[in-house]
Amino acid sequence: MNYLLGAFKPACNILITFNDGKSRKQVPFKKETGQTLTAPLFQSQENIAGKIIIEPMQGKKIEHNGIKVELLGQIEMYFDRGNFYDFTSLVRELDVPGDIYEKKIYPFEFSTVEMPYETYNGANVRLRYVLKVTISRGYAGSIIEYQDFVVRNYSPPPSINNSIKMEVGIEDCLHIEFEYNKSKYHLKDVIIGKIYFLLVRIKIKNMDLEIRRRESTGSGANTHVETETLAKFELMDGAPVRGESIPIRLFLSPYELTPTHRNINNKFSVKYFLNLVLVDEEDRRYFKQQEITMYRLQEETS
C-alpha cells in the first residue's frame, strides 16, 4: 500500500521566484476558488525576470523531453469555466531533453512585456496573468507549475473632463436639474455636485445616489449583463421645496472600484454609472442614470 501511495507523490518541487520579489509591491487578488492571496504587481512594458528552481525528490531522477516557461495573459468566462482564451503568450525554452538528478536553477527573462489589460475578477469573467512552467514527459505525464502576478496600468489625468449637467422631470409634477463636477474620475476621487429642485408637486420621501457597475460578457445572443450596486449614498431624507439646492460629496476611496474596461478583446466590458433615485410617499421610484468613466491614477498608493 505504501508503494502505491508513493507512486502518486510529485517527482519534484518547482519554485518560481521573481528577481525583485522581495522589494516589489504585493497586492491581494482572488483565486478561482475564492481564496484571497497576494501576488507581485507589474505594469505594461516592464521586464519580468526571475529564477525557476527544480528539485527532484530524494532518490528520484526526472527524465524529461524539455523544460519551458510561458508568460500567459488569459480570459476565462465563468459559463465556460476551464477554457482560457490567451491574448498574450510568450515562451522561453529552459532546457533540452535530458535527466535531472539534483537541484537545478534556471534564470528567465521576458523583456518589456506588452500587457495592455488589467487583472480583473468579476461576476462572470476573470482576466489573469500567470507564469507557467512545464516539464515535458512522455508516458509519465508533464509536470506543470503556475505563478500568478497582477497587472495594473495607470493613466494621466484626462486633458478634457467635462462636467455632467442633466434635467429629469415628470410633466407638471417634478422638475430637477443635477450637475456633477466632471465625467471622468480616478479610483480615489471625490464626486462633487448639486441637485436643484425647480418644480416639486409630488411628495418626495427620500433621495439616494448609487454607484453601479455593469459587467457585460459574451456577444450577440450570448451577451450576459450583471449589474451590481456598489454604494448607496443618502442625499436627502424628507420633502424638498421648490428652489432648494442639495450638495453632493461622495468619496470613492472606500469602494472596490476598477477602471472602466471597454470591449476587452471582444470578450467583456465593465462600465460605471451614477444612479439618482427618488422615492415618493407612495413608494414610487424615479431614477436617472448617467455613465461615468473610471481610471487609475499613477499617484494612488493602493
Rg (CA), the chain: 26
Hunting for cell 413608494 — which residue is that? 283
Helices H / strands E in the chain, number of each: 1, 22
DSSP symbols for 236-297? EES---TT-EEEEEEE-TTS-----EEEETTTEEEEEEEEEEEEETT--EEEEEEEEEEE-B
Burial of 4 (0-12, 13-18, 19+ CB in 10 A): exposed
Q: For position 5, what pLDDT does the model report?
A: 41
Distance CA 291, CA 269 (A): 13
Torsion of CA 95, 98, 104, 106, to 10 degrees: 0
CB 62 within 8 A of CB 11: yes
Distance CA 123, CA 197 (A): 37
DSSP symbols for 203-252? -EEEEEEEEEEEEEES-GGG-EEEEEEEEEEEEEES---TT-EEEEEEE-
Q: Is 2 helix (H, G, I), strand (E, B) or coil?
A: helix
Q: For position 105, what pLDDT does the model report?
A: 96
pLDDT along the chain (302 residues), means of 10: 48 92 88 83 95 90 93 90 90 94 95 95 93 90 93 93 85 82 95 86 82 91 90 78 84 94 94 90 84 86 46
